Amino acid sequence: MADAKLNVGFLGLGIMGEAMARNLMKSGLFASVTVWNRTLAKCQTLVSEGAKMAETPAAVVSSCDITFAMLADPDAALAAVFSDNGVLKGISAGKGYVDMSTVDEATSTKIGEAVTAAGGRFVEGPVSGSKKPAIDGQLIIMGAGDKELYEQCQPAFGVMGKKSFYLGATGAAARMKLVVNMVMGAMMGAFCEGMALADKSGLEQSALLEILGLGAMANPMFAMKGPAIMGRAYPPAFPLKHQQKDLRLALALGDALNQPLPVAAAANESFKTAKALGRGDEDFAAVYEATQK
């Protein structure tokens, strides 16, 4: 991708996708960046910055050498590929499709097999890192599938992320991402319970934050999300509904492998409670509200 200026596409301009597509545009590495979003009006910002827009995923894929996707969940990822005017209608020999959404292995495998059967090449490339790392081009990219396409994507991955890993056959990156987010969801659940217990027992939450931050449990997530929890305001960087989806998919993976996951299962219940409280579109730190019922 470095020497020949390729035409690239991007499907899904949500919190992550818009920032990732913008970084592809800003890099100057590509001849063009063509975008599509289910709600087409959301393409306008990038179009005003120089992107091309297409009305369907098929139109993006047929006009691009490599198309990236960053979609909400398995249903969205499957719809973009298999619906009328979906990716499969535009794919042909040699074209690349790189799905960076967080989905389960079965979804990714189904997409990969269909793209490959149509002559295309497929990589799954879920990412770790939230809105700000997406804006800053500092994501961690987990790749699997077609190794040649993965290598061809290195310049694109280099502008979207700070490091990429090739993990093997399709499915490996999907599994890795679910494991990572299962740990994150459990950590956030435990952190919010600690914040709630501190408050209820007459302790300052700010003191708890500082003490955690100075010891072996220090981490950027507690430092970043602590103030949101104290203010009980959760502008979305990583929507809570997506974290709950990731826990659900990780638990299904555990079920399939007979791997006990009691801590993740308990965290999932807290996220389900917060979702039922209407907090699904807020940041996942809003799981704190589940401790306040």
Ligand X SMILES: NC(=O)C1=CN([C@@H]2O[C@H](COP(=O)(O)OP(=O)(O)OC[C@H]3O[C@@H](n4cnc5c(N)ncnc54)[C@H](OP(=O)(O)O)[C@@H]3O)[C@@H](O)[C@H]2O)C=CC1
Q: Are 79 and 105 in contact (CB under 8 A)?
A: no
- Residue 101 binds which entry of ligand X, ligand O=CC(=O)O, none, CB below 5-8 Å type-dependent: ligand X
Interface with ligand O=CC(=O)O includes 129 (CB under 6 A)? yes
Q: Kindly tell me the number of DSSP H helices and DSSP E strands found in the chain.
A: 14, 9
Alpha-carbon gap, residue 274 to 290, rounded angstroms: 5
Interface with ligand X includes 37 (CB under 6 A)? yes
Question: Per the structure block, which two tokens stand in for 60?
Answer: 């993006």
Question: Per the structure block, which two tokens stand in for 77?
Answer: 């990822």
Report in angstroms the alpha-carbon separations of 208 from 200, 261, 293.
13, 27, 22
Q: In the annotation, is 293 catalytic?
A: no
| Smaller CB separation from ligand O=CC(=O)O, 170 or 181 | 181
Interface with ligand O=CC(=O)O includes 181 (CB under 6 A)? yes
Alpha-carbon gap, residue 198 to 193, rounded angstroms: 8
Q: What is the total count of residues that contact ligand X (CB under 6 A)?
A: 27
Q: Are 64 and 7 in contact (CB under 8 A)?
A: yes
Burial class (CB in 10 A: 0-12, 13-18, 19+), 32: middle
Q: b/e string for 171-184 if b means 16 or more Cβ within 10 A?
A: bbbbbbbbebbbeb
Choose which of 131, 147, 162, 248 interacts with ligand X (CB under 6 A).
131
> Among residues 52, 95, 110, 177, which one is catalytic?
177
| Smaller CB separation from ligand O=CC(=O)O, 40 or 221 | 221
- Residue 85 binds which entry of ligand O=CC(=O)O, ligand X, none, CB below 5-8 Å type-dependent: none
Alpha-carbon gap, residue 67 to 60, rounded angstroms: 7
Kindly state the helix (H) or strand (E) to which residue 164 belongs, with its residue range: strand 161-166
- Residue 61 binds which entry of ligand O=CC(=O)O, ligand X, none, CB below 5-8 Å type-dependent: none
| Smaller CB separation from ligand X, 44 or 205 | 44
Task: In angstroms, give the least distance from the CB of 242 to ligand O=CC(=O)O.
Answer: 7
Question: Per the structure block, which two tokens stand in for 266?
Answer: 């308990």
Binding piece for ligand X, criterion CB under 6 A, among 43-51, 89-97, 231-239, 272-280 = 231-239
In the complex, which residues of this chain contact ligand O=CC(=O)O (CB under 6 A)? 102, 128-130, 181, 238
> Which stretches of the chain bind ligand X, using CB under 6 A?
12-17, 37-39, 42, 70-73, 75-76, 79-80, 101-102, 127, 130-131, 237-239, 242
Provide the annotated active-site residues.
Answer: 177
